[in-house]
């Protein structure tokens, strides 16, 4: 931990010491607030101050939205005068360099949160929320900033649809744990979950058993983007192509044209892709658009006459080269919409330009990650073993029957032990790692309750990895801090897994 501005009443507590205190006294209530993710530097002081109904939050100008959010979260008023004042203040970037960093001080004069950007104020406010207990807040001096710029969660709303109420609930928790990217996997073979003008058949059949819509309208997307933006979370849309797009191929068979993926030789396909990314670009303000690009099978375009002609005309020898040709066209369309293209790591292997942000998932292919880094691609890392939350959490528990099962459960311990940046990376390559993203795929997750069970509390361990400086993560200390968070999650109606016994309560319904 780095040194803090000193204050005579404060002393510094290492994370392990908090755990020791808990063990020694057996009374967690007497220990310090349990913060997740643990801030970079924490100094607890003596005692606490009241933060009851007569406290106020002050913040003007650019600080006002965070002040309003905090006042709402704590159930107190905004204003200048109160029994205790929480002041949010912007300071020059030379004081707090990281725009997501903050300084939080609680002393007998009140609470001060300082940052150089509204994002930092927002994260300071989140930490304060975790510190309030029984209408009081502990005296402390905290300096904090994230390790990674990209702290994401992918939710697969294509295999099973999860609508606005579920996403809002997840966004609320992502904000608490300082995650800042919601990646929506919007389309796949079984479902197309976003309305596209001119292509009504894509979503025509997307109706749930109870008759409600199982897709997002433009208005829904705007609501989700706005709700996320209030929490400093960007929403990344993923539209899968050329494979994992069977829902489009079924609705409009001419897009597949007899093959097993979007026809890379047909102008009809590119007109479709232009319409899709035009609409996606209008609805999602994020600078990135993800086009999938994973798992293109060798049989994607077998025996298709126009693809045979394309190979001759463009001098493409193999299916991989056809794939690369298709992807070059897709990249141009996304860039024409003013966005950065992003794809799964197969596209690094297929030779996508280094302008494409690569999301690495294939744990068994570290060579692909290394090669992408060497070429200067920006990277988001999501290795299946550590951050695929459809995998089982403990021995004998249910989970997706993919390759992760061969390597034991994706437990909290495994997530905490994970170092996202390979030791072999040069400093230059390490800088290209934008960050980390967990993924909850829903082939086998058919209910909100089960979705929550698979996501929580693993997402909190993931947040610890995404936010904290490299190394030094202690599982026992994390478990100690986790207990009150589990209580809070469950109190807010989230079916968080407490222990192995819970697996059977929440299996698939
Ligand atoms: C993936 O899991 N196929 C990206």
Q: How far apart are CA 209 and CA 447, in angstroms?
A: 13
Q: Which of 344, 368, 388, 389 to mutate to test the pocket of ligand 1 (most atoms within 8 A of CB)?
A: 344
Whether 47 contacts 68, CB under 8 Å: no
For residue 386, pLDDT beyond 90: yes
Quote the tokens at residue 27.
Answer: 């009374």
For residue 175, pLDDT beyond 60: yes
The pLDDT tens digits for 461-497 are 999 999 999 998 999 999 999 999 999 999 999 999 9
Q: How far apart are CA 39 and CA 48, in angstroms?
A: 19
Q: How far apart are CA 492 and CA 169, in angstroms?
A: 9
To the nearest 10 degrees (0 to 180), the angle between helices 458-467 and 448-455 is: 40
Vertex 120 angle, CA 34 and 138, to 5°: 30
Ligand 1 atom index nearest CA of 439: 2
Vertex 13 angle, CA 8 and 16, to 5°: 170
Instruction: Report residues whose beta carbon is within 6 angstroms of any ligand 1 atom.
Output: 294-295, 344, 361
Task: Please tell me the distance between residue 361's alpha carbon and the centre of ligand 1 in angstroms.
Answer: 7
Q: What is the SS3 assignment for 277?
A: helix
> Assign residue 137 a region: left if phi > 0, alpha if psi is -120 to 50, beta otherwise?
beta
- What does the DSSP assignment read for 121-170? HHHHHHHHHHHEETTEEEEEEEEE--S-SEEEEEEETTTS---HHHHHHH
So what's the pLDDT on residue 337?
98
Whether 393 contacts 411, CB under 8 Å: yes
So what's the pLDDT on residue 22?
38
Whether 450 contacts 509, CB under 8 Å: yes
Q: Where are the beta strands (DSSP E) in 242-366?
A: 288-292, 340-344, 357-360
Compute how many other C-beta atoms are within 10 angstroms of the C-beta atom of residue 25: 11
For residue 169, pLDDT beyond 90: yes
Q: How many residues does the chain have?
A: 509
For residue 498, pLDDT beyond 70: yes
Torsion angle defined by CA atoms of residues 52, 55, 61 and 62, in that order, rounded to the nearest 10 degrees: -30
**Which residue CA neighbors atom 2 of ligand 1 most closely?**
361
Q: Which of 294, 404, 410, 444 to mutate to test the pocket of ligand 1 (most atoms within 8 A of CB)?
A: 294
Give me the phi and psi of 421, to 5 degrees please.
Answer: -100, 120
Cβ neighbours for 276, distance < 8 A, ≥ 6 positions apart? 196, 199, 239
Query: Within the chain, which residue ranges are assigned CATH 3.30.379.10?
Result: 15-33+41-144
Vertex 151 angle, CA 73 and 105, to 5°: 45
pLDDT band per the 50, 70, 90 thresholds, residue 508: low
Ligand 1 atom index nearest CA of 384: 2
So what's the pLDDT on residue 404?
61
For residue 8, pLDDT beyond 70: no
The reported pTM is: 0.93
Compute how many other C-beta atoms are within 10 angstroms of the C-beta atom of residue 11: 10
Task: Please tell me the distance between residue 396's alpha carbon and the centre of ligand 1 in angstroms.
Answer: 24
Task: Please tell me the distance between residue 252's alpha carbon and the centre of ligand 1 in angstroms.
Answer: 24
Task: Please tell me the distance between residue 89's alpha carbon and the centre of ligand 1 in angstroms.
Answer: 42
The pLDDT tens digits for 35-94 are 999 999 999 999 999 998 899 999 999 999 999 999 999 999 999 999 999 999 999 999
Environment class of residue 465 by beta-carbon count within 10 Å: exposed (0-12), middle (13-18) or buried (19+)? buried
Ligand 1 atom index nearest CA of 361: 4
Q: How far apart are CA 228 and CA 40, in angstroms?
A: 25
The pLDDT tens digits for 399-455 are 888 876 678 899 999 999 999 999 999 999 999 999 999 999 999 999 999 999 999
Query: Within the chain, which residue ranges are assigned CATH 3.20.20.80?
Result: 146-179+361-509
Q: Which helix (H) or strand (E) holds 153?
A: strand 150-156
- Give the residue numbers annotated as catalytic, written as ranges: 188, 244, 295
Give the rounded distance of the alpha carbon of 15 from its chain centre. Answer: 25
For residue 125, pLDDT beyond 70: yes
CATH of domain 15-33+41-144: 3.30.379.10
Ligand 1 atom index nearest CA of 441: 2
DSSP one-letter code for 39: P
Whether 316 contacts 325, CB under 8 Å: yes
So what's the pLDDT on residue 405?
66
**Which residue CA neighbors atom 3 of ligand 1 most closely?**
294
Alpha-carbon separation of residue 373 from 33, 79, 143, 192, 352 (angstroms): 39, 49, 31, 32, 13
Tokens 């983007």, residue located = 225
So what's the pLDDT on residue 28?
44
Vertex 345 angle, CA 285 and 271, to 5°: 55
For residue 234, what are the β-bridge partners? 181
So what's the pLDDT on residue 210?
84
Q: How far apart are CA 505 and CA 102, in angstroms?
A: 40
Q: Compute the radius of gyration of the chain from its Cα atoms.
A: 24
Tokens 């528990």, residue located = 397
Query: Per CATH, which fold does 146-179+361-509 belong to?
Result: TIM Barrel (3.20.20)
Whether 37 contacts 464, CB under 8 Å: yes
């Amino acid at each position: 931990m780095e040194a803090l501005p000193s204050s005579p009443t404060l002393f510094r507590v290492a994370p392990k010491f908090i755990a020791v205190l808990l063990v020694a006294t057996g009374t967690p209530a007497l220990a310090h607030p349990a913060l997740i993710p643990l801030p970079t530097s924490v100094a607890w002081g003596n005692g606490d101050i009241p933060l009851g109904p007569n406290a106020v939050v002050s913040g003007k100008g650019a600080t006002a939205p965070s002040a309003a959010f905090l006042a709402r979260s704590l159930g107190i008023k905004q204003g200048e005068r109160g029994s205790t004042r929480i002041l949010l203040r912007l300071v020059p970037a030379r004081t707090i360099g990281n725009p997501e960093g903050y300084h939080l001080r609680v002393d007998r004069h009140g609470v001060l949160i300082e940052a150089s950007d509204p994002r930092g104020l927002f994260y300071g406010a989140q930490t304060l929320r975790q510190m309030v207990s029984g209408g009081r807040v502990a005296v402390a001096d905290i300096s904090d900033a994230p390790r990674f710029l990209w702290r994401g969660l992918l939710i697969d709303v294509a295999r099973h649809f999860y609508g606005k109420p579920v996403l809002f609930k997840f966004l609320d928790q992502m904000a608490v744990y300082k995650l800042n990217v919601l990646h929506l996997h919007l389309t796949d073979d079984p479902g197309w979950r976003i309305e596209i003008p001119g292509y009504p058949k894509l979503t025509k059949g997307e109706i749930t058993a109870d008759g409600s819509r199982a897709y997002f309208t433009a208005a829904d997307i705007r609501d989700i983007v706005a709700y996320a933006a209030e929490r400093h979370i960007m929403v990344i849309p993923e539209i899968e192509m050329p494979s994992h797009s069977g829902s489009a191929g079924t609705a409009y068979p001419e897009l597949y044209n007899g093959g097993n993926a979007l026809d890379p030789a047909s102008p009809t396909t590119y007109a479709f892709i232009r319409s899709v990314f035009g609409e996606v670009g209008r609805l999602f303000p994020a600078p990135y658009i993800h086009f999938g690009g994973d798992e293109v099978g060798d049989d994607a375009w077998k025996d298709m006459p126009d693809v045979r002609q394309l190979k001759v005309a463009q001098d493409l020898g193999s299916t991989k080269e056809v794939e690369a040709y298709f992807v070059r066209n897709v990249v141009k369309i996304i860039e024409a919409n003013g966005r950065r293209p992003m794809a799964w790591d197969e596209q690094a292997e297929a030779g996508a330009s280094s302008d494409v942000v690569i999301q690495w998932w294939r744990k068994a292919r570290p060579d692909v990650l290394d090669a992408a880094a060497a070429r200067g691609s920006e990277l988001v890392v999501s290795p299946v073993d550590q951050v695929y939350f459809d995998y089982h959490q403990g021995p004998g528990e249910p989970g997706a029957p993919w390759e992760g099962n061969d390597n034991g459960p994706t437990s909290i311990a495994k997530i905490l032990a994970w170092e996202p940046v390979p030791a072999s990376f040069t400093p230059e390559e390490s800088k290209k790692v934008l960050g980390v993203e967990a993924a909850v795929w829903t082939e086998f997750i058919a209910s909100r309750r089960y979705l929550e069970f698979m996501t929580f509390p693993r997402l909190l361990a993931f947040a610890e990895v995404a936010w904290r400086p490299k190394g030094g993560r202690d599982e026992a200390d994390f478990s100690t801090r986790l207990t009150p968070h589990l209580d809070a999650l469950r109190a807010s109606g989230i079916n968080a897994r407490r222990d192995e016994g819970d697996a059977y309560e929440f299996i698939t319904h």
